[in-house]
Amino acid sequence: MKFKVVLAGFVFLFLAVVFLAAVGYHMVRREVLKSAHDTLHQLATIKGQHLLHILNVRSRELAQVGNSPELMNYHERGNPYALGRYMVTLSPRYPYLVYISRSGYAEIEVIRGEVSFVKRDCRDDPLVKKSMKVVNRTVVSKVFYSKELGGPAIKACFTRINYFDDFVGTICVQIPASVFFFPLQGSDRYLFVVTMEKGQVLYPRGRRVSMWLLGNGRSINKVNVDGRCYMVASYPLKALGLNLYALGDLRQIMAPVYHFGASNFLISVLVLLLATAGLYLGSRKVIQPLEELTVVAKKVATTGELVELGEGPKEGEVGHLYMAFKSMMDKLRESHLRLKESESHSRLLAEGIPEMVFSFDKGGRIGYVNARVEELLGVPKDEFLQGGLDKLLECVYPQDRPKAEAFFSRIVEEGSKEGVEELRILPENGGKPRYVMLVVKPSPGGDAFTGLVVDLTVTKRLEQVVQELDEAHMELVRVQKMAAIGRLASGVAHEINNPLMAIVGYAEKWIEEVEKCNPALANDLHRIYDASMRAAEIVRALQLFSSTLRET
């Protein structure tokens, strides 16, 4: 814990220091670049104005060459040349000023201070033919020379050339026609170049680096020259239609910034080390007690063991937290001891109950069951604890199993109502089927449940015997009632049968006597006789019914 906090603090401080150092370096770098660019722009302006002055002076010298008889004679023949642009190289080795025309194509190279032209159309030029000689198919020009201007002679050449390819031993450029490159001597820190707005710079020994010079001279651009990175500022040479570019070596310009960055880095590292040391020393007082509390809390959460805390800090926020946690642990330990005693007492009571007692949670996991489970269900206690409620449902009659599953689902879903259900079970050890009553009651939180399985087998059998006795008693009462009815019917039949037989006998006697003398009376006597005979049939039916009741 302590290592993680120290590491996190170190990372935070490192990021903060790096951020501040980067911001400081960026601000210094921006100011240095801005100042260097302003200086470079001023140098480009001064150098451009100086270059225009030199060109103006040398243009006047070329004007003297342009008034030569050869040139005037060439103009008289109707082939005047429009004077074109000029190229200036201030290299100490080749200080030439070359004046050229706008048309035609040719290639030039500097050989021992001479300009040689290699192109067929150059040889056909009348002016060139007048002043050249052919040496091994190489045209060597020795045309006009002006007077010396404080140094080597300035060579001026009139010819049909407007494309420069290569200058041996000097920086040169390859550009479109009528736009020229002026490599100017600079210093170790600055380089001055005159060219068009964009072009390809060539270097000796086959080294080439593309240089795209864009913008108005106020924006900060960078180019690569001879393996170095340069800052660029420009000055427009409007009279020539060209631009002068001042290139400043960024390595030398940025040297103070690099020194500042190095010192800033060392200071940042020192501050970071001091802050880390302070953080570590401070963490020993703050983190160590918190780490001890964390270890104790994890131990309580994983093993349930309540560890007694030692003496810790008593002052400050950490001290108050430590003492509050210690007091909480002491109270929790006392409550845990009381809970253990209560649980032990409850287990003793549950083990002494002749019924099966068990507890389970919403997931169907069994937390406790007493030893009665082995006798009632025929399942070992450990196996029942591992199997959960599914093991209990396996012992239920297949016909009662859907009812038991619905009962447990309802109890778990509601979580606040107790339930009672009667089921039939088949012990796994092959015992006799049993009738049980299942009672389930949820805990106050609704997360745990306590179940009681009461064996109702003896009660059910007693109820069955009582029911059979009740049925036998009812049958006996019914038989007694039927016997009484039979006796009553037999007595009634006997009492009615005697006078009825007398009526039948007298009616039969009088019918024979009055049938001849009084037919009407005989007819009435016949009716009495018939009615008496029907009554006699009813009496015989009663006698038969009574005899049947006596037999049953």
448-455 and 434-442: which strand pairing?
A: antiparallel
Model-level pTM?
A: 0.34
Give Cα 425 distance to the centre of its chain: 52
Query: Could you report the per-residue pLDDT of 178-204, keeping only the tens digit for each?
Result: 233 334 444 445 656 555 444 333 333
Domain 353-455: which CATH number of 1.10.287.3510, 3.60.70.12, 3.40.50.150, 3.30.450.20 = 3.30.450.20
Q: Compute the radius of gyration of the chain from its Cα atoms.
A: 66
CA distances from 456 to 389, 396, 400, 463 (A): 21, 14, 15, 10
- What does the block give as tokens for 121? 């159309």
Q: What average pLDDT does range 379-401 have in this prediction?
A: 84
Q: Token match 């009667």: residue?
A: 422
| Structure confidence at residue 363 as a pLDDT band (50, 70, 90) | confident
Q: Could you tell me which CATH class the domain 468-551 is placed in? A: mainly alpha
pLDDT at 305 (0 to 100):
62
Report yes or no: 552 and 482 within 8 Å, Cβ to Cβ: yes
Q: Token match 């309802």: residue?
A: 410
SS3 of residue 455 by DSSP: strand
Tell me where in the chain the CATH 3.30.450.20 domain(s) lie. 353-455
Q: Which residues pair with 210 in a beta bridge?
A: 200
Q: Which residues of 407-433 are buried (b: 16+ CB within 10 A; e: fewer)?
A: bbeebbeeeeeebebebbbbbeeeeee
Query: Could you report the per-residue pLDDT of 33-43, keeping only the tens digit for each?
Result: 777 778 778 87
Tell me where in the chain the CATH 1.10.287.130 domain(s) lie. 468-551
| Structure confidence at residue 73 as a pLDDT band (50, 70, 90) | very low
pLDDT at 443 (0 to 100):
80
Query: Could you report the per-residue pLDDT of 476-521, keeping only the tens digit for each?
Result: 777 777 777 777 777 777 777 778 777 877 777 777 777 777 777 7
pLDDT at 237 (0 to 100):
67
pLDDT score of 298 more than 60: yes
- Tell me which amino acid residue 212 is: W
How many CB atoms neighbour CB 62 within 10 A?
A: 20
Report yes or no: 103 and 115 within 8 Å, Cβ to Cβ: no
**CA 516/CA 521 separation, integer angstroms:** 10
SS3 of residue 153 by DSSP: coil
How many CB atoms neighbour CB 65 within 10 A?
A: 18
pLDDT score of 102 more than 50: no
Q: What average pLDDT does range 234-253 have in this prediction?
A: 68
Instruction: For residue 211, give the nearest of 34, 221, 219, 220 by alpha carbon.
Output: 221
CA distances from 513 to 40, 507, 522 (A): 180, 10, 9
Query: Could you report the per-residue pLDDT of 448-483, keeping only the tens digit for each?
Result: 888 888 887 767 777 777 787 888 778 877 777 777
CA distances from 355 to 44, 390, 423 (A): 109, 20, 15
Q: What average pLDDT does range 251-261 have in this prediction?
A: 70
